Structure 1
């Protein structure tokens, strides 16, 4: 494999670099992975990004490298929403870049990213701020997030905003979504408007 790598075989270079990374020989690994990553080799970019990000969880000295390669991964994927993944990692890094991560994602949401809006809803829900979570989840739904309506409905229900939750669930239920059908029936039962229901079982094969 080393011979093939030396002859310019990209697959061999990646395998050799990855093996060296697994052995903790990071600087040697980079001799093979860096040229590939700079040329747009996705797996090489990912290996550099996630190795650096893992190290950044305990050592802030690796944060700049992790951010560089995570941004590069978004470019290679041609997926700007991948920066939400970077923001998730930033919140875990040793220096605790929570505010910076949330500012990044909020900017993406305001620019039209449904995934970013949904992520902010999730973070606010974790914080216990359901009112703020509702606003972000509602934006995610408006922007076309496929599943944010479920989280939005749960938050509205928890806040006692039953009419809004029912209005959200009903079209999904009438469209055949079994989760929405259950949530709507359970919501009505909680208000004394219908019988008790059981959660939907696994789909039939």
Structure 2
């Protein structure tokens, strides 16, 4: 397992060591002990989620607030997604900055998004199956987020605007300037 730092403080790309031969391949997708040794972050996850989405679906930018804040370890099991994290921690040197990475089954990358970040992804392929491990349980009452097209963040979602499909909830999230997170 290789850990690569991103421009955002405490966000990491995880690249597995893959063993391939004529039969196929094997790799360790996650190892809590190695993760904690390499990042210094808590790597204990309590909930796994899977979503399937069609091309153009944009989910985000979401977060859990307060005592229900969540760190996530995300990957794409089928298709291609553009995955984005936004640092919402006011004390962080990367506060208000975003970073994106393409996740596919072929590149086998995982993206670690710590607590205090908003997270979202857009689907670049016909469909995508997206997986995320969370270090805290979901709480509907603690939902928060930032609108996907916030002008202060200016995120490139890698999709033509006319192709973006949003949930009703995601259409009315607060702006970064409103700071409801």
The TM-score bracket by the shorter chain reads under 0.3
User: TM-score, normalising length from structure 1?
Assistant: 0.25
Larger helix proportion, structure 1 or 2?
1
Larger strand proportion, structure 1 or 2?
2
User: TM-score, normalising length from structure 2?
Assistant: 0.27
